[in-house]
Amino acid sequence: MREYLLTLCITAAVTYLLTGPVRKFAIVAGAMPEIRARDVHREPTPRLGGIAMFFGLCAGLLVADHLTNLNEVFAKSNEPRALLSGAALIWLIGVLDDKFEIDALIKLGGQMIAAGVMVMQGLTILWLPVPGFGNVALTPWQGTLLTVALVVITINAVNFVDGLDGLAAGMVCIAAAAFFLYSYRIWYSYGIEAAAPATLFAAILMGMCLGFLPHNMHPARIFMGDSGSMLIGLVLAAGAISITGQVDPDALALFTGSEKAAVHQTVPVYIPLLLPLTIIAVPAADLVLAIVRRTWRGQSPFAADRGHLHHRLLEIGHSHSRAVLIMYFWSALIGFGALAYSVNSASMWIVLGVVFLSAIGLVLLLLPRFTPRVPAWAQRFVPPRYRRRSRPAEPAAEAVEAPVCVPSSDEERPPVTAGVTGVNGATAIGARSRIGKATR
């Protein structure tokens, strides 16, 4: 665990320290697109944050390669090199898109090529565990097509949800944390070394997101862009493919008693092959809804709009920060709920807890304008929006003296009896009429 935590911290530190210089580089390079109709930010913000995240990934893999225990992952498996190859390709495509905004079909082709590069180096799905049936072996073509489809869907799911400050990085970090705990349990509790690469990928992914989040929280100083969203989507998919393609349920059968029981125990990880990815079910649902919505309107599935889940949260009255926190809540509930179910699927308390938290989430969705107020003694410790506001006193009406035309000669100066402007701004008419007669 200490080596995983060290890798996570190094990745986060490198990403955090490089994001500032990358922001300056993005401004100089002109990677600051104009505000579009679907954007929610009000000022042009530089992109290319994926550059810092990619170098954080490289630093994490480099550090892990020199650690005693994690070095075995590189010695016994080619998956880290496969991940780096696919990540470099998808990152390059994302950088070009952040700068020049390449066509959507070209990006889709690049995503498929990146997935194919990882498949060629051994990062692929070899079998498909089916709950209630057992282990189903896949042909090379079936495994390749399933792997490419999973990578492409996950990349676009993360890319679609990247619409608010800190949203994509936070949701993927939550998903990676749940995935890390699950794969680490398989690796150390059951002693299955094939789960080690997935555990390493999840730790590095958490570091990438945590290092970038301080720069990306609302109001964001830099966006990750497609170079970052597609990159973290690929890393997340690579972890799911690694544990699915390499961990044999027959090995888990030694601990659970039968192959069917082993398959049932691994359901929370293998469901991603069908949905995909339970741990990012919210972005996946957003992806499906966006495709259906745009196809129904006769538009391209890749045509951008303001119909995503986070846009709808803003439209019904939630603030920017609250919309992000609600999306975090649902991602954590689904991801860690699946994790808890995998540990003890027979416990009713887990099901009841998930149902109770789901009810809380629904209440939060239905009360967009509810702002809690803290007691008077605690107001100095909370942000201003949670403090009780006193009603401002009404300003008293004051008389304002109006300018009066005065003749230059003292002999012609008439007596002025009413030269004061009232509250409504009207001047004394009688005074002005006498002045006119005197000067005539």
Which residue ranges are tagged as binding site for Mg(2+)? 159, 226
Please state, in angstroms and rounded to a whole number, the distance separating the CA atoms of residues 234 and 115: 8
Q: Tell me the HSE value of 168 on the side-chain side, using a 13 A CA sphere.
A: 32
* CA distances, 105 to each of 111, 352, 406 (Å): 10, 44, 79
Whether the upstream peptide bond of residue 219 has omega within 30° of 0, thus cis, is: yes
Other beta carbons within 10 angstroms of residue 366's beta carbon come to 9
* CA distances, 9 to each of 15, 208, 209 (Å): 10, 9, 11
Whether the upstream peptide bond of residue 129 has omega within 30° of 0, thus cis, is: no
User: Helix H segments across 66-195?
Assistant: 71-76, 79-100, 104-120, 140-161, 167-189
Q: Which residue has the tokens 């990882």?
A: 118
Which pair of tokens denotes residue 383? 């942000």
Q: What single DSSP character describes residue 425?
A: S
Please state, in angstroms and rounded to a whole number, the distance separating the CA atoms of residues 207 and 228: 13
Which pair of tokens denotes residue 4? 């995983």
Q: Which of 146, 103, 158 is nearest to 302 (CA)?
A: 103
Residue at 217: amino acid letter:
M
**Torsion angles phi and psi, residue 295, rounded to 5:** -65, -40
Instruction: List beta partners, residue 127.
Output: 137
With residues binned 3-state (H G I as helix, E B as strand, rest as coil), the percentages for the chain, rounded to 5, are 65, 5, 30
CA-CA-CA-CA torsion for 82, 263, 330, 5, nearest 10 degrees?
Answer: -50
